[in-house]
Structure 1
Amino acid sequence: MAWQNNTPPPPPPPPVPPQLPSAGSRAKGCLGSLLSLGVVIALGFGASQVFDDDDTSGPSASPSASSSSSGGDGKARNWSKGDCGGPDPEKGSDSYRMVDCDDSGATFEALEIMDASIMPESIQCPAGTDLIIEVSITYGRSSSGGGIPTETVCGRNLSGDHPGDAGAGGGQLVKGDCVDDRAQEIACASAGSSDLKVLGLVKKKADCPSGTTEPMELLFAIGRPYDVICGGKV
């Protein structure tokens, strides 16, 4: 007679609960998302400056120039205050290059050399700047422009045309300029009764100088050193 085992089989093991990520791994995942968002914001902000041709309050010139120019000894040198530049037809109508100030192709002189920035509103050139040019370095033999931004040239025209002078209606907004009711810069010579003269550019309305009749609060812009235009009678 065969022996029969009547002992019931052991119960199946309980299901293993899914492992939750540790606090460290969750924090790492969130940090990665934040970093990715930061890159997108930075790239989007830079692209808006490069491709937005409708900004009437910004500089009136090309944002690009070569990072250096070869002198008579064949050695390349960086831009310096007092250098001159002119159009660079080899790289397109919106590009500039360094040339001798007595060269027939020279159209502007560098008033100041400033750091490069992906935040265009953070670059504030000195008064009298007619054009702002982003200087970049390129590698290889490419002549199509672009490259890595290295510095910014604040240029003043060698001609008698100076839209960056206070009140002239061009360049960056400075004290002495005029704006319309939308905070857009206009030439003071054509200002009307509803337009305003810029008495100051400050962070808070309370910082506006005496004579301010209409402080204009602006939308937030990354890097811009002022948030309020102190407007007064033209």
Structure 2
Amino acid sequence: MLVAAVILAVAALSGCQAWPGGVGEEPGERAAATASDPPTRPAGYGTVFLGVDECSSFGTTSFTEVPCASERAAARVVARHDGRVGQGPLCPPTTDFVLHISESTDEQDGHDEDGDGSVPQGYACMRGLQPPHPGDPGGGGGPRTIVGDCVYGAGRGEVRETACDGGGKHAPEYEVTTAVDTEAQCPATTDLYVRLGGSRPVGCAVPV
């Protein structure tokens, strides 16, 4: 029997770490919940669990692959990578949340693609089918911090994302206005440096 363990990285708040010259944020996991894929997959879902452009249901503890036209469909896979999030490619900038997936088979009736008794670990970058989108600029969440996002001081040299419109639990204190290669390229008005990752890893933030 094929078992798919899915761990959700909830995109509500972003953990941040101190960074020389300012405060930087590294994409990371927000929270975790485990779930199992149904033992039998309906025909037509594809051989890869939650492949690109496939959809999942949404819940607090359970995620299953469902047809995108289904009324249960809540989010679409916009990118799918093998390995761990911290070791693989970044999700697209406006990803709403990440599902971490690992699959294994038993010895009697399991099925795997290459016959080695297991299916590689990976992660799916998910985008909700309906708004609100926490991964959008200023949305207050998502696995990445991008230009247009807002942050607040969380203490001990850390900042966390929050909604720019003030609708989150914490009021915004800084907004990331520019992404550059190095701190030296930030405008003179920059008060905070935020680690973004990607091709332009430095975010220049100003008070709001």
Counterpart in 1 of 2:190? 213
- Contact 2:9–2:29, Cα closer than 8 Å, also in 1: no
Counterpart in 1 of 2:152? 180
CA shift, 1:196, in A, is 1.3
Q: Are residue 80 (structure 1) and residue 54 (structure 2) matched?
A: no
Q: CA offsets, 1:146-174, max 9 Å, x none?
A: x9762211111122221111101111211
Q: Are residue 163 (structure 1) and residue 134 (structure 2) matched?
A: yes
Taking structure 2 as the reference length, the TM-score comes to 0.61
CA shift, 1:108, in A, is 0.5
Q: Are residue 119 (structure 1) and residue 119 (structure 2) matched?
A: no
Gap change, CA 1:177 and 1:101, over 3 Å in 2: same
Gap change, CA 1:214 and 1:73, over 3 Å in 2: closer
- Structure 1 CA distance, aligned partners of 2:47 and 2:76? 19
Name which one, 1 or 2, has greater alpha-carbon Rg: 1
Give 1:188's aligned amino acid: C
Q: CA offsets, 1:4-26, max 9 Å, x none?
A: xxxxxxxxxxxxxxxxxxxxxxx
Q: How does 1:43-192 map to 2 (within 5 A)?
A: 56-57=13-14, 66=37, 70-72=41-43, 76-87=47-58, 93-117=60-84, 119=86, 124-140=90-106, 150-171=121-142, 172-181=144-153, 182-190=158-166
In structure 1, stretches of 5+ residues that fail to align are 1-49, 219-223
- Contact 2:147–2:203, Cα closer than 8 Å, also in 1: no
- Structure 2 CA distance, aligned partners of 1:227 and 1:75? 36
Gap change, CA 1:177 and 1:59, over 3 Å in 2: farther
In structure 2, stretches of 5+ residues that fail to align are 1-6, 15-27, 111-117
- Contact 1:86–1:106, Cα closer than 8 Å, also in 2: yes
- Structure 1 CA distance, aligned partners of 2:9 and 2:134? 20
Give 1:198's aligned amino acid: V
- Structure 2 CA distance, aligned partners of 1:69 and 1:211? 58
| Stretch deviating more after TM superposition (163-172 or 187-196) | 187-196
Give 1:173's aligned amino acid: T
Give the share of equivalent positions with the same residue, in percent: 25
- Structure 2 CA distance, aligned partners of 1:165 and 1:130? 8
- Structure 1 CA distance, aligned partners of 2:82 and 2:76? 17
CA shift, 1:60, in A, is 6.0
- Structure 2 CA distance, aligned partners of 1:69 and 1:175? 42
